[in-house]
Amino acid sequence: MRFQPLLATILFPLAFADTANSPGLELANVTFNSYYTFVSPSAAGPKLGSISFAIVNDAVDEPVLCDGYSTNPWAMFYPSEEFYCDYPESSGYTECWTSSASFYLDTMTPGEMNLTVQLSWTCAGQGVYTFTAWENLNLDCLSWTCTNDIWPKNTIYSNTTTVCEQDSVNFGGGGAKAQKVG
């Protein structure tokens, strides 16, 4: 898989008491799949798009699990739809924990998967940190369409399926930033 340079291990300008290294963020196990069916040459039938990944934050022990599903036309993800991620609650025994995590995915432009990730975490005695980054995922995908050329009414006319290879992306460089907000 290929990824354009990211907004790709973020080195934060944060001071962590026990290490000289700043935490890094990675999206691990990124998967994307979609299908859509036409029940006639002009009428769409069932459709589904799905994306999933884990956010691995070096500052927090447990990964954040994210997934999103779309049943919009052609299994498109609209940029205004926010998806919320699952993360463990603070147990009181960890130094840093995730406070919130969400993402947006925009697939409205053919051939583009624009992913925006928003994350915040709290570190005991240090404060609250936020992170936002955008990346145009360039996943290695394969699409195929099966068409019923002798289409009789009330049967499936075509089905298009897209499957992408699983991959990971590191966030870093100058475009993505974490900020201390509290």
Consecutive H or E run containing 148: none
What is the value of pTM for the model shown? 0.79
Instruction: Give 88's DSSP letter.
Output: P
Mean pLDDT of 73-84: 90
Q: What is the structure's pLDDT at 141?
A: 92
Q: Give the percent of the chain with pLDDT over 70.
A: 82
Q: What is the per-residue burial (b if ≥16 Cβ within 10 Å, else e) of 63-97?
A: bbebebebebeebbbeeeeebebebeeeeeeeebb
The pLDDT-based confidence of 74 (bands split at 50, 70, 90) is confident
How confident is the model at residue 10, as a pLDDT?
32
Contact between 85 and 103 under an 8 Å Cβ cutoff? The reply is: yes
Q: Is the pLDDT of residue 153 over 50?
A: yes
Closest to 28 in 3D by CA, of 72, 48, 58, 70: 58
**What pLDDT was estimated at residue 32?**
94
| pLDDT at residue number 25 | 83
- What is the predicted pLDDT for the residue at 91? 62
Q: What is the pLDDT of residue 16?
A: 36
Average pLDDT, the chain: 81
Count H helices and E strands in the chain, helices first.
0, 12
